[in-house]
């Protein structure tokens, strides 16, 4: 995406993750922060090193940082000047915020008709919930993911990450790419990408919509397995580790029975067909669990993968750091951060053969580090004027 300039507005996760994705593949990302407080992500989370939050250098990598007060008219006019020189604007404010700042899509298109505008919010730009504050937790709940997660009869848990924010960012980034292609191939007009956390979660519900529509089926949480799909679960090894074993296809099922030395199950009426195995999943899981409990996790992983049965240990982040596949794929990159020193981070994904992208620099800690470069170099503002803008709390 070299040659594409992106203005990133907003804070925390969803909007900035869009910028990170595009920046990883070469887009010039100009991240705008309020000169009064900056992005909350700078100090987000519980894990800090030398007083620095470790989320910021990864999420804000490859970005140029400027400060700009969008609540004042002079700041709004400066943003419009940046818009005239850019391809994409990304924001994740509550719907209506840009409009209150005289920065609506219609007003921005008057300046740059080709501008692509990605708007990420909790519930979308329209509808009765549009004005609500939106976080991943609520979007996951109302998007249907929380309901089917967890164990029946217990509180629906969340994953230990802000999944909804990341999903919305990924959908928004896809939208940006499609809108840029349409603009460049079909006449030069920009458009709005309206990505909501709730709908991004909802999009992952697989067959649940037609199941309810045609059959009235409400899928319930099923714990560590999927209802009707067996054997496919997590099983505890002799050395106390959890391992996924998934043999829920005919060829995999036959291989598993052979490895377990239980060919008799191939002719057992309870397990003879895919549907029968699903109906008798509890008993089948008991048998597989007993087999797994007699072996260490490394043995389970080795013998099943050698036999062509889907199997994988449940990894902690420490396990990921030691895994040879991650190493071979260079999935973890080493970066140098001027404040925290050497820092490992996720590499750029997915891998592209011709334009693979790169994690060039970590998120800078100094607010407005690139003010002179962007305001001076791009907009032609001289030092004296830039000093005045700073004194007036515009930048």
On the CB side of 168, CA atoms within 13 Å amount to 32
Q: Is 165 a catalytic residue?
A: yes
The residue to which tokens 């990921």 are assigned: 320
Q: 18 — alpha (psi -120 to 50), left (phi > 0) or beta?
A: alpha
Distance CA 217, CA 210 (A): 9
The distance between the two most distant Cα atoms of the chain, rounded to a whole number of Å, is 86
Q: Are strands 341-346 and 63-67 parallel, antiparallel or unpaired?
A: unpaired
- What 3-state DSSP class applies to 73? helix
Q: Which of 87, 165, 301, 337 is catalytic?
A: 165
- What 3-state DSSP class applies to 303? helix
Distance CA 236, CA 307 (A): 20
Identify whether the C-beta of residue 364 lies closer than 8 Å to the C-beta of residue 60. yes
Q: Are strands 63-67 and 28-33 parallel, antiparallel or unpaired?
A: parallel
Show which residues are catalytic. 165
């Amino acid at each position: 995406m070299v040659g594409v300039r992106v203005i990133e507005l907003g804070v925390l996760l969803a909007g900035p993750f869009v910028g990170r994705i595009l920046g990883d593949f070469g887009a010039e990302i100009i991240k705008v922060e309020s000169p009064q407080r900056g992005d909350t992500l700078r100090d987000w989370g519980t894990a800090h090193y030398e007083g620095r939050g470790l989320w910021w250098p990864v999420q804000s990598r490859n970005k140029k940082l400027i400060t700009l007060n969008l609540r004042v008219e002079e700041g709004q006019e400066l943003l419009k000047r940046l818009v005239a020189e850019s391809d994409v604007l990304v924001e994740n404010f509550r719907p209506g915020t840009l409009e209150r700042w005289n920065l609506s899509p219609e007003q921005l298109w008057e300046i740059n008709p080709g501008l692509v505008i990605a708007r990420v919010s909790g519930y979308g730009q329209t509808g009765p919930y549009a004005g609500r504050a939106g976080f991943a937790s609520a979007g996951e709940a109302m998007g249907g993911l929380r309901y089917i997660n967890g164990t029946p009869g217990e509180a629906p848990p969340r994953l230990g990450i802000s999944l909804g924010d990341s999903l919305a960012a990924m959908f928004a980034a896809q939208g940006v790419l499609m809108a840029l292609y349409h603009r460049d191939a079909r006449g030069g007009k920009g458009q709005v990408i309206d990505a909501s956390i709730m709908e991004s979660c909802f999009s992952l519900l697989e067959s649940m919509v037609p199941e309810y529509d045609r059959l009235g089926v409400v899928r319930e949480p099923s714990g560590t397995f999927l209802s009707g799909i067996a054997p496919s679960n997590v099983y505890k090894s002799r050395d106390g580790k959890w391992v996924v074993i998934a043999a829920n296809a005919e060829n995999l099922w036959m291989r598993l029975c052979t490895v377990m030395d239980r060919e008799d199950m191939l002719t057992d009426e309870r397990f003879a067909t895919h549907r029968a195995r699903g109906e008798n999943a509890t008993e089948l899981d008991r048998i597989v669990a007993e087999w797994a409990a007699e072996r260490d996790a490394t043995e389970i992983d080795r013998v099943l993968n050698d036999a062509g049965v889907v199997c994988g240990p449940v990894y902690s982040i420490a396990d990921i750091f030691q895994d040879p596949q991650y190493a071979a794929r260079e999935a973890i990159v080493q970066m140098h951060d001027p404040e925290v020193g050497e820092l490992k981070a996720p590499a750029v994904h997915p891998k592209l053969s011709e334009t693979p992208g790169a994690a060039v620099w970590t998120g800078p800690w100094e607010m407005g580090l690139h003010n002179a470069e962007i305001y001076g170099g791009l907009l032609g503002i001289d030092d004296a004027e830039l000093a005045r803008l700073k004194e007036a709390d515009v930048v």
